[in-house]
Chains A and B, each alone.
Chain A
Amino acid sequence: NAGVTQTPKFQVLKTGQSMTLQCAQDMNHNSMYWYRQDPGMGLRLIYYSASEGTTDKGEVPNGYNVSRLNKREFSLRLESAAPSQTSVYFCASSEGPSPHYYEQYFGPGTRLTVT
């Protein structure tokens, strides 16, 4: 039982390059999330998918796009990377969308550096 897996673990991009961060969960969860974590700022929600077939913007969606490929997979795309997107990116999943009732499980993160 792998839980939430993310690829790659590390990535260095040059400004303007694009890339896709991959996330998959094997817990049959309905909801999935993408966060970024910056020093001194806690986690900020980029996008989430409450259920398969739906996606919604979070607190900091600009510069990102997402795709809920199927129930298991939720990808995050940076179309034109900027240095401000240097961060650690976490994918998470939960059985349902309300954190009041459902625990979020996090992947190990992707460390992205944009030069």
Chain B
Amino acid sequence: TQLLEQSPQFLSIQEGENLTVYCNSSSVFSSLQWYRQEPGEGPVLLVTVVTGGEVKKLKRLTFQFGDARKDSSLHITAAQPGDTGLYLCAGDGLMDSNYQLIWGAGTKLIIKP
């Protein structure tokens, strides 16, 4: 069974600080996705990383896929209150020839003004 562990589970910081959240597994994934979910809403895809070592930037958010395609990180520079939300990672189990995403439990991020 493929598992994705996210850390930290909860993070509360002041506006303007930098932060990194992690998504780790012992399994290899074909690709890995990051989502943000706000209260009362469904997850919204932020980015998909597909190549080992890949780095993608989305404004102040930087996503990295590990060289071995087993882990990923999300770094936020100069966090803003609008970044508050639940950040979920999900791995593509294509290696196992199915269409199911394997989901982490999420990092709940609160940015205080």
Query: Taking beta carbons and an 8 Å cutoff, which residues of A are in contact with B?
Result: 4, 31, 40-45, 48, 50, 58-59, 90, 92, 97-100, 103-104, 106-109
Query: Which of B33, B43, B92: most chain A Cβ within 10 A?
Result: B43
Chain B interface, number of residues (Cβ within 8 angstroms):
24
Please pick, from B33, B40, B42, B94, the residue contacting A98 in the complex, using a CB distance under 8 A: B94
B4: which A residues are within 8 A, CB to CB?
42
* Nearest CB on A from B36, distance (A): 11
A40-B105, A99-B92, A100-B94 as given contacts; A45 in contact with B100, CB under 8 Å:
yes
* Nearest CB on B from A102, distance (A): 10
* Cα of A50 to Cα of B92 in the assembled complex, Å: 15
A99: which B residues are within 8 A, CB to CB?
31, 33, 90, 92, 94, 99, 101
* Cα of A44 to Cα of B1 in the assembled complex, Å: 13
How many inter-chain residue pairs (CB < 8 Å) link A and B?
A: 59
Interface residues of B in 83-113 (CB under 8 A from A): 88, 90, 92, 94, 99-101, 103-106
* Nearest CB on B from A99, distance (A): 5
**Smallest CB gap from A58: residue in B:** B100
The 19 listed contacts between A and B (C-beta, < 8 Å) are A4-B42, A40-B9, A41-B105, A43-B88, A43-B90, A43-B103, A44-B103, A50-B99, A58-B100, A99-B33, A99-B94, A100-B30, A100-B31, A100-B48, A103-B45, A106-B44, A108-B40, A108-B41, A108-B42
Q: A99-B94, A100-B31, A103-B45 are in contact. List 10 more A-B contacts (CB 8 A).
A: A4-B42, A40-B105, A42-B4, A43-B88, A43-B90, A43-B103, A92-B42, A97-B99, A106-B44, A109-B41
Q: In this assembly, does B50 line the interface, its C-beta being within 8 Å of a C-beta of chain A?
A: yes
Q: Which 9 A-B pairs have the closest CB atoms?
A: A106-B42, A42-B103, A97-B99, A42-B105, A43-B103, A99-B92, A100-B92, A100-B31, A99-B101
